[in-house]
Amino acid sequence: MRVAIVGIGLIGGSMALALKEKGFAEWVVGVDANLEHQKKAIELKLVDEILPLHEALVKSDLIILAIPVNAAEKILPTLLDQVHLQVLMDVGSTKEGLLKSIENHPKRGRFVATHPMWGTEYSGPTAAVAGAFIDKATVICNKEESDVDALQLVEKVYETLGMHLVYMNAKAHDVHVAYVSHISHITSFALANTVLEKERGEDNIFELASGGFESTVRLAKSNSDMWVPIFMQNKENVLDVLNEHISQLRKFKSCLEKENFEYLKELIEQANGIKRILK
């Protein structure tokens, strides 16, 4: 199996590592516009060669789009124009806009929309992690719109990576990830900006920040080139969850202003209920 990875960063690089290690891919072709990424991907042996996109597509059986969601939406129709028996898949964090862009394409069936639910705050080829996906979930969206053989190949990819499969329609996926992923990043970005604005002494942040603060703002180190397109693509769902989040923050603020510590305790204990879900 010859696999092309378009975008040799955190997700693409980690997938390349694992698929080579497991023997699923006998040859991995890398495609990346960043010359430094190309060089690093070869040095780290994430890929076997670097090719232009069109040449990589022609020479590969499976093409994995691991690029920002706006870039994937832009090039996917053109890529589908060129495929024959090859399978295309993506790993992006939003799905509705992407699938809408190809809903009437005659080769729609050669594409499988997926979202592996794993990531870190780091980016680029050096961020690639061996064994990153084991025991994590991946979402496959609108599977009935993909050809049976294409779907089966992508399912095999994720089984090889050690992931378990969840099936959703694109609209539901985008709503759910707004609540469990996208709001976490916005909150982290906002908290980091709050601290940087109010705490002018960098030494104080470094010396006094506890593990709790560090884990909460970890996502603030995430790449803006990836996250701005995600927020743009999923704007309505993100706004909905952001409004609810602001409402919850106002409750905490009101408790402190009015010294309503009994209700504050209730709010915290209500939040503790997340322990039933996240062990």
Same-domain pairing of 205 and 117 = no
pLDDT digits (tens, 9 = 90+) for 196-250: 887 766 666 666 666 677 778 888 999 999 999 999 999 999 999 999 999 999 9
Instruction: Kindly give the pairing relationship between strand 111-116 and strand 137-141.
Output: antiparallel
Same-domain pairing of 37 and 159 = yes
Cβ-based burial of 177 (10 A; exposed 0-12, middle 13-18, buried ≥19): buried
Last residue of a domain, one of 169, 198, 228: 169
Same-domain pairing of 199 and 67 = no
Please state, in angstroms and rounded to a whole number, the distance separating the CA atoms of residues 184 and 219. Answer: 8
Last residue of a domain, one of 146, 169, 192: 169
Same-domain pairing of 13 and 120 = yes
Please state, in angstroms and rounded to a whole number, the distance separating the CA atoms of residues 111 and 86. Answer: 9
Say how many domains are in the chain: 2
- The domain in which residue 218 lies consists of 173-276
Q: Residue 23 has what pLDDT?
A: 95
pLDDT digits (tens, 9 = 90+) for 5-53: 999 999 999 999 999 999 999 999 999 999 999 999 999 999 999 999 9
Same-domain pairing of 160 and 35 = yes
Same-domain pairing of 118 and 137 = yes
Same-domain pairing of 35 and 54 = yes
CATH number for the domain that contains residue 219 = 1.10.3660.10
Same-domain pairing of 27 and 55 = yes
